[in-house]
Amino acid sequence: MNLRRLLAALVLLVAACRVPAGLAAPQAMVAAAHPLAVEAGLEVLRRGGSAVDAAIAVQMVLGVVEPHASGIGGGGFLLHYDGAAQVIAVYDGRETAPTGANPTMFLDRDGKPLGFREAVVSGVSVGAPGVLAMLELAHKEHGKLPWSELFEPAIAAARDGFAVPSRLALWLGRMPGLREEPGIRAIYFNADGSPRKTGDRIANPDLAETMALIADQGSRAFYQGPIAAEMVDRVRNHVRPGTLSLADLADYRPIKREPVCGPYRVWIVCGMPPPSSGGIAILQVLALIEPFEIWRDAPNDLRSVHLIAEASRLAFADRDRYVADPAFANVPTAGLLSSAYIAERRKLMSPDRSMGKVGPGVPPGYVERGTSHMSIVDRWGNAVSFTTTIEAPFGAQIMVRGFLLNNELTDFAPQPEVDGKPIANRVEPGKRPRSSMSPTLILDRDRRLVLALGSAGGSRIIGDVLHALIGVLDWNLSVPAALAQPRVTNRNGPTELEQGTPLAGQAERLRALGHQVQVRVHEGGLAGIRRVGDGWEGGADPRRDGVSRGE
């Protein structure tokens, strides 16, 4: 064994022993982006609720205390693992474009894409929300406690008030323009227009009333009736109006899909299929790097960082070309993951030189034609990996009855075609925009759950989840250590290194290999749980307000 491999083995041995005290739970665990949400989920599990029950309680509290990231006005993707049957169910609650949407809706009069604020802060960006309908379907199939009980912690927090978390205070300070929306100003800003600070006490009685109605009547109280009418009114009468209609809301349906799964070393990695790009991209990168045996390297050494970045380039090139709503585009999922195609793409990778920006391949079978995450395990071994979002911080910045509407339609490509060829992710009526959300479940060869993981962070979600998976599976890091490790990301452009970390010290060495490098602040947003012996170990990204707790 050479010196490098000996050092790597020693690092892995040390990491294997780093199971932080108090994080292994014998029966159940919740990891999410805020302590109040985690406590709500744990209380549901204590009362005999399922992982799905806990996920609903967590989501509702997050909508109260983390309104900039998620809420009932948005959507999400949920993977459910059945501990007894050892099968994974996939729930797609992605928002949909209104029937009045058109491929040029994000272009100005000159045919150029709208500016960021003009596109986001508008009625044009709002899609029909999907998270409530999706959670209701998952609850019907996997819930144990009554639907109405799962809203109680969120209703209490919204009615009685809560302390402003640091993350919410940060975004309020960054976005003074939020004061232009009266509902937002009344809750999150002082009388003099200054933003509420960390620790200030705030309440949202309108949201408490809205959630109480949904708790009592189910999701139909949201998709039909006065709440729906007010959503449509706000969107269609905005200064930049959209086309959302009552029919768009009443007709929304969540979709059950099959997970996209593939092998990695001794595990089975399962993720979200299209319209998410996360599952395919993560499996592609893992397949591309597997023969390089980066598990022999020390965590985040130059070779592994280079290889992860190069494989990510290839995955993002394919993502941008092929992945969209499968009801509207021919997504060659099997071809993108086929061993022959992966082997051909791997030939572009060099261990000592960057390929630079790369184009997509031609996979077999192709024919031309603000976010939050939670991971939960219950006492029966069932698990949920659930990523939820309203897109940009505070979504479209339109508040209705205490909740914020999403700006999810800006995830569509602003231009419908390039060089005369239609873009797969162009806007079309009723279509679900491509996402990077990557809720992920890892199984062993006996199909026992090993790890539940996901992240917030826009298109950087894919790299974050990938890097954390490699940390746990290849470098044997504990979940907290894997989630805290410095980040490297490549989205088929610059290789991004996290500012203020040892990894940033690799910048010049990567540039010498031909990488364009950016050193930048990283927002993070991971939450994960893995099996440790007969119990569970959890972690939440230290870059945010999240925690993990078990019973």
**Listed residue (279, 351, 355, 275) closest to 314, CA to CA:** 355
43: burial class by Cβ within 10 Å (0-12, 13-18, 19+)? middle
Residues 6+ apart with CB under 8 A from 209: 401, 402
Q: Quick check: bond before 259 cis, omega within 30?
A: no
Cα distance between residue 68 and residue 406, in whole Å: 10
**At which residue do the structure tokens 């709503």 appear?**
325
Secondary structure letter of residue 358 according to DSSP:
-
Half-sphere exposure of 88 (CA within 13 A, CB side): 27
Q: Which is catalytic among the residues 210, 333, 371, 387?
A: 371
Between CA 76 and CA 426 the distance in angstroms is 20
Per residue, the 3-state secondary structure of 113-125, as one string, reads: ECCHHHHHCCCCC
Judge contact between 464 and 543, C-beta under 8 A. Answer: no
Q: Known catalytic residue: 371?
A: yes
Residues 6 or more apart in contact with residue 458 via CB below 8 angstroms: 371, 436
Name the DSSP letter for residue 112: P
d(CA 378, CA 25): 11
420-439: buried (b, 16+ CB within 10 Å) or exposed (e) per residue?
A: eeebbbbbbebbbbbbbbbb
CA-to-CA distance for 493 and 486, rounded, in angstroms?
A: 19
- Please check whether residue 332 is in contact with residue 366, taking contact to mean a CB–CB distance below 8 angstroms: yes
* 335 neighbors 366 (Cβ within 8 angstroms): yes
Structure token pair of residue 143: 């819930």
Pairwise CA distance, residues 442 & 453, whole Å: 8
Residue among 458, 390, 370, 396 nearest 118 (CA)? 396
Contact 130, 96 (CB under 8 A): yes
Instruction: State the Cα–Cα distance between residues 537 and 25, nearest whole angstrom.
Output: 7
| Nearest alpha carbon to residue 144 among 255, 224, 260, 28 | 28
Distance of CA 380 to the CA centre of its chain: 25
Residue 269 class from Cβ within 10 Å (0-12 exposed, 13-18 middle, 19+ buried)?
buried
Q: Phi, psi (5° rounding) for residue 100? A: -90, 0
For residue 362, the SS3 value is coil
149: tokens are 């009980």
Please give the Cα distance from 65 to 157 (Å, whole number). Answer: 8
Catalytic site residues?
A: 371
